[in-house]
């Protein structure tokens, strides 16, 4: 079945009626996504705004917003922050294959919370870059609201704060200057490397699986992350080896295999080069207090 438009949203108390939270510091009211395929136009116009706050993340295509009487085209990789009672006038077009995520929230401390995480309140458009992590957080908030599991409201506030932290980091990193397509690919690569760091990862095969040349992928990854893919994977292995040496009684051979090295002698050489100590001496210094 082919859809003209995809919609998936969750609402607090299963109610679409917004309200102003005056007792709690922060409360998440709704979250979800809209994606246009062949639906020609999806307009929204609230002349008097809403009584809650709204954050919109454009993950694909672009949106058209009337801001202070002027139409502004906002491409993917940006967020729009509407404060209570601000006029909301915007639309998305099917020809752009637009997708956006949203969250509505309220609370007596919202303004201070946003300021704490460095979210500017003197404008509308936030240049946050494209990140799969944003979508995942919006999706998690939507699912919490839809399914209402134990302690879901508390989980919602943690997820929303995590979103603000990620926004703050991305808005103040050089990586925001990288194109949205490249940044999204780098985010996917980092997630893959974190999940598979202890396997025999071929950078060439990974790049090919994403239809990228090895050289182009390596240069883009290094520009965004500050180190090569090979160094990034090595750091993951060393960090996890450190943790295991400090917190477990596993032998060096066992730990080597856990973090991706079949040859424990080679692992010891790599570890010594990275940390200045052999795995055995590292354990003595950092766990046994010897050295």
Q: Which CATH number fits the domain that encloses residue 282? A: 1.10.10.60
Asked if pLDDT for residue 245 goes beyond 50, the answer is yes
Q: In the prediction, which pLDDT does 1 show?
A: 39
Q: In angstroms, what CA-CA distances link 215 with 9, 201, 203, 222?
A: 41, 16, 10, 11
Q: Is the pLDDT of residue 266 over 60?
A: yes
Domain boundary among the residues 177, 200, 233 is at 177
The rounded distance, in Å, linking the Cα atoms of 90 and 111 is: 23
Do residue 9 and residue 141 come from a single domain?
Answer: yes
Last residue of a domain, one of 118, 148, 177: 177
Reported confidence tier of residue 103, pLDDT bands at 50, 70, 90: very high
Q: How many domains does the chain have?
A: 2
Whether the Cβ atoms of residue 103 and residue 31 lie closer than 8 Å to each other: yes
Give 177 or 251, the one with higher predicted confidence. 251
Residues linked to residue 55 through DSSP beta bridges, in sequence order: 81, 103
Same domain, 186 and 135: no
Instruction: Average the pLDDT over 264-269 and give the result.
Output: 96
The whole-number pLDDT of residue 90 equals 97
Q: Which residue, 58, 55, 74, is CA-closest to 113?
A: 55
Q: What is the CATH number of the domain that holds 140?
A: 2.60.120.280
pLDDT attached to residue 2: 43
210 and 221 co-located in one domain? yes
Q: Judge if 28 and 143 occupy the same domain.
A: yes
Specify the higher pLDDT residue, 186 or 47: 47
Which residues constitute the domain of residue 191?
180-291
| pTM tops 0.75 | no
Give 288 or 139, the one with higher predicted confidence: 139
């Amino acid at each position: 079945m082919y859809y003209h438009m995809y919609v998936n949203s969750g609402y607090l108390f299963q109610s679409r009626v917004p309200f102003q939270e005056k007792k709690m510091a922060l409360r998440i009211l709704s979250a979800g996504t809209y994606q246009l395929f062949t639906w020609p136009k999806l307009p929204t116009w609230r002349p008097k705004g809403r009584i809650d706050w709204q954050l919109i993340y454009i993950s694909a295509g672009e949106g058209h917003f009337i801001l202070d009487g002027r139409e502004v085209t906002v491409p993917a990789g940006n967020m729009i922050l509407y404060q209570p009672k601000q006029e909301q006038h915007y639309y998305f077009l099917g020809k752009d294959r637009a997708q956006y995520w949203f969250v509505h929230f309220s609370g007596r401390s919202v303004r201070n919370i946003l300021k704490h995480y460095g979210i500017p309140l003197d404008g509308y458009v936030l240049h946050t870059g494209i990140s799969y992590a944003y979508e995942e957080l919006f999706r998690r908030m939507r699912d919490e609201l839809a399914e209402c599991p134990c302690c879901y409201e508390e989980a919602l506030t943690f997820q929303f704060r995590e979103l603000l932290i990620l926004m703050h980091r991305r808005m103040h990193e050089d990586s925001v200057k990288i194109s949205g397509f490249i940044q999204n690919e780098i985010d996917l690569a980092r997630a893959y490397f974190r999940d598979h760091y202890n396997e025999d990862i071929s950078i060439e095969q990974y790049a090919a699986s994403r239809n990228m040349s090895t050289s182009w992928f390596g240069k883009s990854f290094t520009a965004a992350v500050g180190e090569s893919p090979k160094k990034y994977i090595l750091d993951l292995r060393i960090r996890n080896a450190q943790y295991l040496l400090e917190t477990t009684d596993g032998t060096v051979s066992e730990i080597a295999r856990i973090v991706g090295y079949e040859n424990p002698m080679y692992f010891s050489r790599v570890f010594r080069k990275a940390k200045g100590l052999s795995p055995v001496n590292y354990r003595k210094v950092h766990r046994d207090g010897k050295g």
